[in-house]
Amino acid sequence: MNVLLLGSGAREHALAWKLAQSPKLGKLFAAPGNPGIAQHARLVQIDPADHRGTVDFCLKNSVELIVIGPEAPLVDGLADNLRTMGFCVFGPNKVPAQLEGSKGFTKDLCARHKIPTARYSKASDKLGAEAALEDFGLPVVIKADGLAAGKGVVIAQTPEEAQGALEALFARGKADVVIEEFLEGEEVSFFALTDGTAIVPFGSAQDHKRVGDGDTGPNTGGMGAYSPASILTAELERRVIDEIVAPTVRALAKQGHPYSGILYAGLMLTADGPKLIEYNARFGDPECQVLMMRLENDLLDLMCSAAKGNLAESEPPRFSDEAALTVVMAANGYPGTPERGGALAGIEEAEQLGARVFQAGTAESDGKLVADGGRVLAVTASGKTLKAAQEAAYAAVDLIDFPTGFYRRDIGWRAL
């Protein structure tokens, strides 16, 4: 089976690495990919925003499955057009992808179907948002309604911070915001594979969003993660499926827009039980890296089962009992303007220890690997315990020479 993988981050590198292990894989194409992905796939120049061009490439190269890694093409409706042309696609269509594309869409769906989530209000202008703020205490959560690359959330501790967040959001032009009550508890990520009817768990993880040690500094796309999240017990996982994920999948199917692909629920485990913070319509990054390290069966089989609607008859995902942990190495300046062009070395030595170094913002320059983005590498390792996985990951990190980069030294601290 020929497969096209869209994306260029460490998430897609992890997916390419796992897909390449399938005995059923024919040719694996990746667009645009990166030097790490090129170790497993043939890189091709396709713009996912060019739906016609993507369809033409798949027709000419006998592609049978398209795996859409990032969220933007999903929200843009690429999966709809590919499915219309008869291709199997891993990833939801445009309407169900609004679970990630619009915070307001998700909050309204939760309200209609009594899915536990934070109390909220929506506003489309600054005056309305300021009025809505009066109904909330402090701290208060202010979110950009649309896609924001994991950085569109502000937790305001004071009225001045809340006002500043609104001014920053509306200064960009027309914008919608969602204002939410602040939930207290432990955050956890839960993943479910679904074909629109059947739902199977696909592991749990916890990530570290803040840029600095001790969860300090601004939010990022994620500075590291580990799996499984031991705090999400079997009982809590069942509640998440029954009270949050399954009602969401049923609601979308009833609307005539079944969700197909991976559904990523960001949760808060509160004193009242699990509550939904937000949905993502794709694998998380860096959560995908630790999930792929632990997945034991054929990823291509699982993706095809979801895409073809026969997930209920397929072998469910199997995960190793071992823990996995990933440390993101980022370029200086991230999450602001990253320093590009910094040399990278020592990846082979790190992988000789048993770690996997998934590449994100990398490029080749004069035959050498250099940094070409904010998050550059995701150094991932497994171990019999989370502590062992942490030690293995940092042992690999210490072998990588990246003088213009930085990383956190405390990934996994919550559980440890």
Q: Is residue 192 part of a domain?
A: yes
Which are the contacts of 249, defined by CB distance < 8 A and separation ≥ 6? 194, 196, 197, 199, 258, 259, 263
Q: What CATH number should be reported for the domain holding residue 171? A: 3.30.1490.20
Indicate the number of domains in the chain: 4
Q: Exposure pattern of 355-391 as b/e (b: 16+ CB <10 Å)?
A: bbbbbbbbbeeeeebbbbbbbbbbbbbbbeebeebbe
Question: Is residue 208 located within the same domain as residue 307?
Answer: yes
What stretches of 28-108 adopt beta strand conformation (E)? 28-32, 42-43, 63-68, 88-90
Residue 255 and residue 352 in one domain: no
One domain for residues 345 and 394: yes
Integer Cα distance of 340 and 136 in angstroms: 42
Instruction: Tell me whether the omega of the peptide bond preceding residue 159 falls within 30 degrees of 0, making it cis.
Output: no
The answer to whether residue 100 sits within a structural domain is: no
Q: Are residues 277 and 308 in the same domain?
A: yes
Q: What is the reported pTM?
A: 0.96
Within 10 angstroms of residue 155's Cβ, the number of other Cβ atoms is 16
Query: Is residue 229, in this structure, part of any structural domain at all?
Result: yes
Q: Residues 283, 262: contact at Cβ < 8 Å?
A: yes
Same domain for 236 and 140: no
- Residue 176 sits in the same domain as residue 201: no
> 23: domain CATH number?
3.40.50.20
48 forms beta bridges with none
232 and 283 together in one domain: yes
Q: How far apart are CA 275 and CA 163, in angstroms?
A: 26
Q: Which CATH number belongs to the domain containing residue 388 in this structure? A: 3.90.600.10
> Which helix (H) or strand (E) segment is 413 a member of?
none
- Residue 104 forms part of a structural domain: no
Q: What is the pLDDT of residue 148?
A: 67
Last residue of a domain, one of 313, 345, 378: 313
194 and 306 share one domain: yes
Same domain, 295 and 370: no
**First vs last Cα of the chain: how many Å apart?**
42
Q: Which of 36, 317, 37 minimizes the C-alpha distance to 202?
A: 317
Q: Could you list the residue range(s) of the whole structural domain that residue 331 is in? A: 323-407
Q: Does some domain include residue 107?
A: no
| Strand positions, DSSP E, 337-408 | 356-359, 362-365, 368-371, 375-383, 405-406
Last residue of a domain, one of 155, 181, 207: 181
Measured distance CA(87)–CA(81) in Å, rounded: 9
Nearest to 36 by CA among 342, 361, 290: 361
Question: Does residue 370 form part of some domain?
Answer: yes
User: Do the domain assignments include residue 109?
Assistant: no
Query: Mind giving me the DSSP string for 11-48?
Result: HHHHHHHHHTT-TT---EEEEE--TTGGGTSEE----T
Report yes or no on 285 lying in a domain: yes
- In terms of domains, do 148 and 177 share one? yes
Boundary residue ending a domain (289, 313, 337): 313
Q: Assign 74 to helix, strand or coil.
A: helix
Residues 6+ apart with CB under 8 A from 345: 369, 400, 401, 402
- CA distances for 54 relative to 29, 63, 303, 307, angstroms: 12, 10, 19, 18
Q: Are residues 293 and 348 in the same domain?
A: no
* 129, 87: one domain: no
Q: pLDDT tens digits, the chain, 416 residues: what are they?
A: 999 999 999 999 999 999 999 999 999 999 999 999 999 999 999 999 999 999 999 999 999 999 999 999 999 999 999 999 999 999 999 999 999 999 999 999 999 999 999 999 999 999 999 999 999 999 999 998 988 655 578 899 999 999 999 998 888 765 799 999 999 999 999 999 999 999 999 999 999 999 999 999 988 999 999 999 999 999 999 999 999 999 999 999 999 999 999 999 999 999 999 999 999 999 999 999 999 999 999 999 999 999 999 999 999 999 999 999 999 999 999 999 999 999 999 999 999 999 999 999 999 999 999 999 999 999 999 999 999 999 999 999 999 999 999 999 999 998 98
Residue 234, domain CATH: 3.30.470.20
